[in-house]
């Protein structure tokens, strides 16, 4: 489906779709992944485009998720997981904008 919007992106664009897109909030714990692979007898693909920091994201695609949050890009180490915009405004790792200790 290269070149086409995923159901997740289509729905975010307010385009009607027949199914509900599933969103995975991050790479699943190793023990859960191993148990899922064993239970459902599936194996991840060896697609180098779906491997990030030695984690194979193809298995999440096979689980039926349409989108996933890539924690490796969202978080920052040593800074409280925040991006400071100015003296009283910052963005946390969930994308929330905080101003004077309140977020919107």
Where do the structural domains in the chain lie, given as residue ranges? 1-69, 77-104
- 59: buried, middle or exposed (CB in 10 Å: 19+, 13-18, 0-12)? buried
**How far is residue 57's CA from residue 78's CA, in Å, rounded to a whole number?**
26
Q: Given this model, what pLDDT does residue 2 score?
A: 44
Report pLDDT digits (tens) over 52-98: 777 888 888 888 888 887 765 555 555 555 677 788 887 776 667 78
> Average pLDDT for residues 41-53, to the nearest whole number?
79
Q: Given this model, what pLDDT does residue 42 score?
A: 84
């Amino acid at each position: 489906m290269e070149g086409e919007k995923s159901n997740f992106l289509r729905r975010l664009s307010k385009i009607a779709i027949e199914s509900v897109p599933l969103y995975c909030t991050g790479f699943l714990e190793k023990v859960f992944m191993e148990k899922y692979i064993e239970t459902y007898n599936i194996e991840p693909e060896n697609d180098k485009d779906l491997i990030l920091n030695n984690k194979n994201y193809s298995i999440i695609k096979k689980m039926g998720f349409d989108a996933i949050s890539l924690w490796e890009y969202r978080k920052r180490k040593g800074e409280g997981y925040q991006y400071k915009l100015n003296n009283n405004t910052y963005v946390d790792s969930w994308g929330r904008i905080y101003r004077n200790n309140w977020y919107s």
